[in-house]
Structure 1
Amino acid sequence: MKAKLNTVRLDAWDLRILSELQADGRISKSELAKRVHLSASACSERLRILETSGAIEGYYARLSPSLTGGVIFVMVEVVLDRHRLEDQRHFEAAIQGIPEILDCWAIGGRIDYLLRVAAPSMAAYQEFMEGLLQIGLGIDQYYSLVVTKSVKSNAPIPSSALSER
């Protein structure tokens, strides 16, 4: 049975485990236990609870920027034409299946969503956006911000922001 994230109480041990995993997701369980100063069995049990509760959403590989040298990234501010809950749900469900959209955040303020889009070129990005407008997602306006250089990305959540609860 999966525990709900809001029912799991994070303590100092859990925060140490989460910090170590953010730094190295491929760390062995025995090495993780050593780094956080717990027995292997206690550390494994805490890790299991963190995974099943949803505190840890998954593990992934961070690709080298040299692999993505030909890819452009565009931050896209999206304003929907209507702001009913069903319109938001329609938009959010539809973008789940669009692989070019790497991230999507619902935003409070002058825009509704912020997207991070990957494309092989500006022409391909423009074609992608034209197609996105045609499929009926309810986009009223969009603003493109081309990423010219990555200064910092995929940074772990700092320990100071992870609080015991």
Structure 2
Amino acid sequence: MADSMSNVGPTDSASAGRSAPALDDVGYRILSELRENGRLSMAALAERVGISRANAYSRVEALMDGGVITGFSAIVDHAKAGLSIGAHVFVTVHPQSWPSFRERVLAMPEVEYCAVTTGEHDAMLMIRATDVSGVHDFSTGVIAQLAEVRTVVSVVILDEVVRRPFILPADIPARAPAEQLGMTRWTPSPGAREPLPPR
């Protein structure tokens, strides 16, 4: 690895599958520093964390080999890069269609993020477009046309208030337990949804 980590790409699949090293305070401080500036040199990282350069190098290598750090990349302002519109696309998928649905989504360059969810819908896609018509074209002309998909709901994003690269356990404040339940709303599944096949 070079002294600067600016050109480090994602780890390969073999590395990502290895056992992650146990994270101690130094490990978390390394992650915190790299979150603020992923282009820190090893010398600068070592100085900020309070360890030797050799230790910093070996620690980062271990975090990458263990799959804790999966890569380094630039953070881009989407609007300034020409993609001024973002949208969440909520999708309901036909049961037994998940393998092919996943493969199709992985091949879609507009999709920045996709997650399987609980609630009324089965998956949420984050997409980017140059204008609102691009969101419409993707929702009705791409996703809704898939045989695996039952329903599609698109929500245009007006403003992204918070977008962090990742959070760490120390970021989560201690809070007193809620006095009563009922603060979270769980959306029941539609009655018409087919049951999932037995495993």
> TM-score normalized by structure 2?
0.71
Matches within 5 A, 1:1-165: 2=15, 4=17, 6-64=19-77, 66-68=79-81, 71-82=84-95, 84=96, 87-129=97-139, 130-136=141-147, 138-160=148-170
Count of aligned positions? 158
Secondary structure at the counterpart of residue 170 of structure 2: helix
Contact 1:19/1:159, CA 8 A, preserved across alignment: no
Q: C-alpha offsets along residues 66-113 of structure 1, whole Å, 9 cap, x if unaligned?
A: 51465210011111122x3xx222211221111101000111222111
Shift of 1:9: 1.2
Seq. identity, %: 26
Structure 2 unaligned blocks of 5 or more: 1-13, 173-199
Structure 1 unaligned blocks of 5 or more: none
Secondary structure at the counterpart of residue 121 of structure 2: coil
Cα distance in 1 for residues equivalent to 2:170 and 2:127: 30
Shift of 1:42: 0.8
The 1:81/1:4 distance shift into structure 2, 3 A limit, reads: closer
The 1:39/1:160 distance shift into structure 2, 3 A limit, reads: same
Secondary structure at the counterpart of residue 31 of structure 1: helix
Cα distance in 2 for residues equivalent to 1:103 and 1:70: 15
Cα distance in 1 for residues equivalent to 2:116 and 2:16: 25
The 1:99/1:141 distance shift into structure 2, 3 A limit, reads: same
Cα distance in 1 for residues equivalent to 2:85 and 2:40: 31
Secondary structure at the counterpart of residue 33 of structure 2: helix
> TM-score normalized by structure 1?
0.85
Secondary structure at the counterpart of residue 150 of structure 2: strand
Q: C-alpha offsets along residues 130-159 of structure 1, whole Å, 9 cap, x if unaligned?
A: 2222243x1111111110112111353134
Q: Which has the larger radius of gyration?
A: 2
Secondary structure at the counterpart of residue 131 of structure 1: helix
Which structure carries more helix by proportion? 1
Q: Which amino acid aligns with 2:145?
A: Q
Contact 1:75/1:116, CA 8 A, preserved across alignment: yes
Contact 1:5/1:55, CA 8 A, preserved across alignment: no
Secondary structure at the counterpart of residue 134 of structure 1: coil
